[in-house]
Amino acid sequence: MKKNFLFTFMLLLSCSLYAQDFIHATYLVGHSLNSATYVKQINYRQFQYIYLMAAPKWNQEDFSRSQEEIIKKLVTNHQYIKDKKTEVIPLLIEEAHKNGTKVLLSFAGEGFKERVTPIDRQNKFIDMMIRFIDKYNYDGIEIDWESDLSLPTHADFMANIRSKLDSLEKEKNNGRHLYLTTALHSWQVYNQELADKLSPNVDWINIMTYDMGGGIWGHTPEHNTPLDKMEKELKNWEVFNRNKLCIGLANYGFIYKNITPGQKIEGKLDKYGSYFSYNNMLPLLQKGWTEKYDDKAKVSYYFSPDKSEFITMENPKTVQTKIQWILKEKYRGAFWWEFSYDMILPTTNTGKIKHHLIDVVSEYINKTTYK
């Protein structure tokens, strides 16, 4: 009896520890946020982390200036959009913290290569980031360097940021950990040496397991988030501990016209298609569009009545399949691109925002890991 009790206790403890460690997060585009009411309607408790895309806007020549000029322009003089007298982004951070959610400032966009080389320019860039997150009480930094990415330079860059964050932690001396994460395409390939260089300096990596089917830049329109392709590309990431890897989920897809799934074309797909949110698709389902489920990819295409258009998109069933797989494979967590694409706005100012797809995953995580 004692042995059985001890075994049960240890099993429950291990499940509890794993559940607490599992991350459910989202990216949120913050530059256009202008409503204090909207910020208060977010259900923060369904996310442990928010990656807020609200970094200051700069020009390439800014980092050729002196450090003092950079800080004055991009940090000291910076103000977020106000709703009446309230800066909306600081209010979001405050509301998130009230609900136990941490907010990381996401640095993304073009021109990373020019900002991180040479090293003196990189140090200016990092110093600006550190001063900025300190000013607004962010919980850390997320780096979304996609175009012209050099993996060795990226690893050095992350190590440099981590060092500066550690210095800020020591300066504050308040026991607060400042997070550092990064987003990387699923098709990137690391060797063990480079993985071992990056891994100690990041809390985790967000693997962008979406935009996998041609999008608007490729030549062949296919599924945006096929699970079979995700599994194949994630084999490249076995040089990392899975506790360092979060898997991307998408509440958007692509719509194409006058082309069929798998049809290769000359030129780019932007001539035939465009981004499409889950909310954009819902009205079409009332107009005769039909779903065709792909059992191999574990995701669906949707076709117009005359078959001249099709959409690649997740649905409640397919995102539940993915979160089941992510949990089974013991990855660190899951994250969304992007918060707004499937949201249901409340009918009152005091109501909370709901989501067609995000809520399915959130409820499944809670049911599975906290029961």
DSSP letter for each residue of 241-308: -GGGEEEEEESEEEEEES--TT---SS-GGGTEEEEEHHHHHHHHTTT-EEEEETTTTEEEEE-TTSS
- Across 317-344, average pLDDT: 98
Distance CA 28, CA 78 (A): 20
Phi/psi zone of residue 113: left (φ > 0), alpha (ψ -120 to 50 degrees), beta? alpha
Percentage of residues of the chain with pLDDT beyond 90? 89
| Contact assessment for residue 248 and residue 355, using Cβ atoms and an 8 Å cutoff | no
pLDDT tier, 318 (very low <50, low <70, confident <90, very high otherwise): very high
Question: Which residue(s) pair with 303 in the sheet?
Answer: 290, 310
Coil, strand, or helix at residue 315? coil
**Residue 321 class from Cβ within 10 Å (0-12 exposed, 13-18 middle, 19+ buried)?**
middle
pLDDT digits (tens, 9 = 90+) for 19-34: 448 999 999 999 879 9
**pLDDT for the residue 108:** 93
Token code pair at residue 42: 């977010």
Q: Name, in order, each residue with C-beta under 8 angstroms of 16's C-beta and a sequence gap of 6 or more.
A: none
Distance CA 186, CA 209 (A): 6
Distance CA 35, CA 54 (A): 15
Token code pair at residue 133: 């997150």
**pLDDT for the residue 109:** 80
- Using the predicted structure, report yes or no on whether residue 39 has a pLDDT greater than 70: yes
Token code pair at residue 104: 């990381």
Q: Under CATH, which number does the domain 21-251+315-369 receive?
A: 3.20.20.80
361 vs 171, 282, 367, CA distance in Å? 39, 19, 10
**pLDDT for the residue 59:** 87
pLDDT tier, 14 (very low <50, low <70, confident <90, very high otherwise): very low
Whole-model pTM over 0.85: yes
If you ran DSSP here, which 8-state letter would residue 86 be given?
A: E
Cis peptide before 118 (omega within 30 of 0): yes
Helices and strands of the chain, counted as H and E runs: 12, 17
- Using the predicted structure, report yes or no on whether residue 276 has a pLDDT greater than 70: yes
pLDDT digits (tens, 9 = 90+) for 224-268: 999 999 999 999 999 999 999 999 999 999 999 999 999 999 999
- Using the predicted structure, report yes or no on whether residue 341 has a pLDDT greater than 80: yes
**pLDDT for the residue 370:** 56
Q: Please indicate whether residue 306 or residue 368 has the higher confidence score (pLDDT).
A: 306
Domain positions in the chain are 21-251+315-369
Q: Name, in order, each residue with C-beta under 8 angstroms of 87's C-beta and a sequence gap of 6 or more.
A: 79, 80, 81
Distance CA 51, CA 28 (A): 6
Token code pair at residue 165: 């964050």
Percentage of residues of the chain with pLDDT beyond 70? 94
Distance CA 29, CA 42 (A): 13
Q: What is the mean pLDDT of the chain?
A: 94
Coil, strand, or helix at residue 26? strand
pLDDT tier, 111 (very low <50, low <70, confident <90, very high otherwise): confident
- In this structure, the strands spanning 333-337 and 273-277 are unpaired
Q: Name, in order, each residue with C-beta under 8 angstroms of 274's C-beta and a sequence gap of 6 or more.
A: 216, 254, 255
- Across 130-136, average pLDDT: 99
**pLDDT for the residue 19:** 43
**pLDDT for the residue 15:** 42
- Using the predicted structure, report yes or no on whether residue 155 has a pLDDT greater than 70: yes
Q: Taking Cα atoms as reference points, which of 209, 215, 196, 308 lies closest to residue 257?
A: 308
172 vs 108, 178, 191, 279, CA distance in Å? 27, 11, 36, 43
pLDDT digits (tens, 9 = 90+) for 50-100: 999 999 999 888 999 999 999 999 999 999 999 999 999 999 999 999 999
**pLDDT for the residue 60:** 80
**pLDDT for the residue 173:** 94
Token code pair at residue 161: 């940021």
**pLDDT for the residue 297:** 99
Distance CA 207, CA 333 (A): 10
Question: Can you say how many angstroms the Cα of residue 50 is from the centroid of all Cα atoms in its chain?
Answer: 8
